[in-house]
Amino acid sequence: MLKILSGEQVKALDAAHVRVQQIQSLQLMERAALAFVSWWDSQDFDPSLPVSVFCGSGNNGGDGFAIARLLSRSGRQVSVFRCFGESASLSPDAAANLEALPSDVENLHWTEFDARSSGVLIDAFLGVGLKGALRQDAKEMVQAMNAFVGTRIAVDIPSGLPADGLLEGDCVKANTTVTFAFPKLSLLFPEHAFATGALVLADIGISDEEYSSFASPYFYLREKDIKGFHRSFHRFSHKGDFGKILLFAGSKGKMGAAVLCCKSALRTGSGLVTALIPEGERHVIQSSLPEGMCLFDLEGDLNRFDAIGLGPGIGVEDSAKMLADIFRRYSRPIVLDADAITVLGQNPDLLALIPEGSILTPHLAEFDRLLGKTENHPERLAKASAFCRQWRLNLLVKGANSVICLADGRQIFNSSGSQYMATAGAGDVLTGMLTSFLGQGYSPEQALVCGVYQHGLAGEIAGKSKRRGTIASDLVEAIPETYLRLNVS
């Protein structure tokens, strides 16, 4: 997993990398510019469109000058707009790249920019070196960029956005942000979606090991990280090895939740799936899911199940007693979602009974029901961290870039997913996947990492062909393909 460092730590990371790799900082800047251009080349930009690059006097501006030079090689019309005065002192690498601009790149002052011009604007004005609130002249530059009618692409971070905290004022509103080495924390806050646009992570050759000496509770989960979290099974494995799980889901009128949850667990690989449902509804499971079994009361030793998932569609009316009973009689981690979380919010005394290491998966409204009204994402992350440490529980804050909050305080941002997953039942599918992984012998961290990433990947796969017509059943059907994509047997 990739560590997410603070804006302050970037300089030290750069310096360490330059030292270890025995390269010049200018070479690292060139790598950043090359990584940007490599992404650019993978896109479908019309080569006849002019490119305007706004460059500041720091290293973000230096990236911009280098990008302008590299883009001009393909023969397109490139202009740089200097966002600093005659007397400004440039960072040494920015000065070197300004010096290296070829003569066919037009070199202008930002006040000469015509916002009605067409083409693509590249924002390399301010990066992670921003300090405090934008100065007045910088505000005007940001406004000039935002008045532009074409596409805006931010280099590393939209200018004006602080790397780690909440925006208080103006910043560039980018259609796409190409961020270097690791995503800056603020790019992952939903409050900043309007400024970040699509997020592209550009590799500049810093290995994951080089982050080890930097402390941070935040991580970013990439496709290449997943395989290492999976257990492997051998050819003598039998259905008992793949887990016997119980899903308490569905009630009269909401039996779809139980079907989605159970089917998703089976598609994730569970050996045996039992649904705890009202007896009168048994035909729903038995006619739509021949592989599933039903249970109508909680008799017997619950520890005969390798994992238990609770909550989707169970209703909140009479569930508190039932949850307390399960918590008392089951000793391994449980997955708690939907109505189960609402019940916990109404009955906080139940929290102390939940088996250690259990997983709670609230969406934003459920989060507020559990932990009280929350104003913004940084506050949400802080509350989640305190909650997880206090109760020794894991919590998933669902949304774009869902955050896996672990009991030890680490917080892992997911990178997979698609906007087409905002559909009824998508959470029920995730509950099935997480419970399935726990039942297959995964630790809560492994289950969360694999489940959350693959759930998002299933959304990407389904969304590709079905767009906004994607429904939760499509996510279930896409789960097997996620194993193929990840090369997990």
Residue ranges for the known binding site for AMP are: 398-402, 427
With CB under 6 A, what is the number of residues at the site for ligand NPW? 32
Q: How far is the CB of 30 from ligand NPW (least distance, A)?
A: 9
Return the closest-CA partner of residue 335 out of 311, 316, 368, 317. Answer: 311
For 77-123, give the secondary structure using H, E and C: CEEEEECCCCCCCCCHHHHHHHHCCCCCCEEEEHHHCCCCCCCEEEE
Residues that bind K ion in the complex, under the rule CB under 5 A: 123, 154-155, 159
Among 4, 36, 53, 63, binds ligand NPW (CB under 6 A): 63
Q: How far is the CB of 224 from ligand NPW (least distance, A)?
A: 19
What whole-number distance in Å separates Cα of residue 204 and Cα of residue 58?
18
Q: Which window, 109-117, 133-141, 339-347, 382-390, contacts ligand NPW (CB under 6 A)?
A: 133-141
Return the closest-CA partner of residue 268 out of 287, 245, 251. Answer: 245
Binding residues: 59-63, 123, 127-133, 156, 159, 257, 313, 363, 398-402, 427-428
Q: How far is the CB of 43 from ligand NPW (least distance, A)?
A: 19
If the CB atoms of residues 53 and 388 are measured against ligand NPW, the closer one turns out to be: 53
Report the partner that residue 159 touches, choosing among ligand NPW, K ion, none (CB closer than 5 to 8 A by kind).
K ion
Strand partners, 220: 2, 413
Asked if 97 is part of the footprint of ligand NPW (rule: CB under 6 A), the reply reads no
If the CB atoms of residues 155 and 272 are measured against K ion, the closer one turns out to be: 155
What whole-number distance in Å separates Cα of residue 142 and Cα of residue 172?
6
If the CB atoms of residues 159 and 264 are measured against K ion, the closer one turns out to be: 159
Asked if 404 is part of the footprint of ligand NPW (rule: CB under 6 A), the reply reads no
Phi, psi of 403, rounded to the nearest 5 degrees: -110, 120
Strand order in the sheet with 106-109: 106-109, 78-82, 51-55, 120-124, 151-155, 176-180, 198-202
Q: Which residue has the tokens 């400024």?
A: 195
CA triplet 141, 103, 74: central angle to 5 degrees?
85
User: Both tokens of residue 25?
Assistant: 């900082």
Residues 200-229 touching ligand NPW, rule: CB under 6 A, are: 204
Q: Which window, 128-136, 187-195, 272-280, 340-348, contacts ligand NPW (CB under 6 A)?
A: 128-136
Among 55, 120, 145, 155, binds ligand NPW (CB under 6 A): 155
Q: How far is the CB of 61 from K ion (least distance, A)?
A: 9
SS3 2: strand
What whole-number distance in Å separates Cα of residue 489 and Cα of residue 480?
10
- Residue 407 CB contacts under 8 Å (≥ 6 apart), including other chains: 356, 357, 388, 389, 391, 392, 393, 394, 444
User: Both tokens of residue 188?
Assistant: 């992952």
Q: How far is the CB of 212 from K ion (least distance, A)?
A: 28
Report the partner that residue 123 touches, choosing among ligand NPW, K ion, none (CB closer than 5 to 8 A by kind).
K ion
Report the partner that residue 63 touches, choosing among K ion, ligand NPW, none (CB closer than 5 to 8 A by kind).
ligand NPW
| Residue 465 neighbours by CB distance under 10 Å | 10
Q: Which window, 130-138, 241-249, 315-323, 378-386, contacts ligand NPW (CB under 6 A)?
A: 130-138
Q: How far is the CB of 187 from ligand NPW (least distance, A)?
A: 12
Asked if 145 is part of the footprint of ligand NPW (rule: CB under 6 A), the reply reads no
Contacting positions for ligand NPW (CB under 6 A): 10-11, 13-14, 28-29, 32, 56-63, 91, 126-135, 138, 155-156, 180-181, 204
